[in-house]
Structure 1
Amino acid sequence: MSHPLHDVLRRWKAAFDGHQPDAMADLFTPDALFQGFGPAVLTGREAVRGYYEAVPPDRRAEVTVLHTCTIGEQAAGGFVDVTFGDAHDWEAHVHLSLVLQLDDAGWRIRQYHVSRVEAEH
């Protein structure tokens, strides 16, 4: 059996690449904490939906799982390498940390945090 992070990220990538904000929001718990590219920490599915609605529709994500962990029967997490890009050569390389929570509908993202990776420190 694979780690739940792999399935969540497969669905996340499909929704992101397909510019499906409703599907993106459904991947998160109702009270999820979300830190994307902006400075504000967002809370909840509606905020997540709004964030993804604002993403240009031609953006795509390449995802590589770097580490997974199991926190208990209903919690898991991991660390992911993501490169976002578009047809105009825009690109952003980030690390993404996720905490997942199991609910009646399956595994959902409880906490999402993006950290931009720069070539130099």
Structure 2
Amino acid sequence: MTSDPLEDVLDRWKAAFDGHRVQAMADLFTPDALFQGFGPEVMVGRDAVRDYYEAVPDNRNAEVTLLHSYTIGREVAGGFADVTFRDPTGWEAPVHLSLVLQLSEGTWRIRQYHVSRISGEH
């Protein structure tokens, strides 16, 4: 485990995403996590996160670049990363990812997850 909570969580998230390990993805989140993926609605909880990732094609992977991380006290951390989702067909979706983490049961978990697609248009 790294000393930076966000770096550690992103490493575990990428490994689970690239391996299409849906349950491992859901376990990275707090039970009441807020999740905003590509869809229009905010979802709540691990079951919703698991359902979301079950719908993602299993040939996709993620390239992750950590941009900034912070901690607030001993139990809250967060930050920003750039992520590019790709698959072998050439599909690609670059996003900004923001996370808020919470130390839960001795493990850093995602409390809030939000992606914003990167576009050349304003």
TM-score by length of 1: 0.97
Matched, 1:22 2:23: yes
Aligned residue type for 2:94: H
Task: Report the equivalent of 2:61.
Answer: 60
Counterpart of 1:90 in structure 2 is: 91
Structure 1 position 5, deviation (Å)? 0.4
Shift of the alpha carbon at 1:2? 2.4
Report the Cα offset of residue 67 of structure 1. Answer: 0.4
Does 2:105 align with 1:111? no
Letter of the structure 2 residue corresponding to residue 48 of structure 1: V
Partner Cα distance (1:72, 1:116) in 2: 30
SS at match of 1:37: coil
Runs of 4+ in 1 over 3 A off after TM superposition: none
> Deviation at 1:105?
3.9
Mind listing any 5+ residue stretches in structure 1 that lack a counterpart? none
Q: How many residues align?
A: 121
The amino acid that maps onto 1:53 is E
**Paired AA for residue 120 in structure 2:** A
Partner of 2:48: 47
26-35 vs 65-74, which deviates more? Answer: 65-74
TM-score after normalising by structure 2: 0.97
Name the CA distance, whole Å, in 2 between partners of 1:109 and 1:38.
18
* Corresponding residue of 2:33: 32
CA distance in 2, matches of 1:3, 1:39: 31
Deviation at 1:72, TM superposition (A): 1.5
Describe how 1:4-15 pairs up with structure 2 within 5 A: 4-15=5-16
CA distance in 2: counterparts of 1:116 and 1:105, whole angstroms: 32
Secondary structure (helix, strand or coil) at the match of 2:56 reads coil
Shift of the alpha carbon at 1:104? 1.1
Alpha-carbon distance, 1:106 to partner? 0.4
Task: Provide the C-alpha distance between the structure 1 equivalents of 2:19 and 2:110, rounded to a whole number of angstroms.
Answer: 19
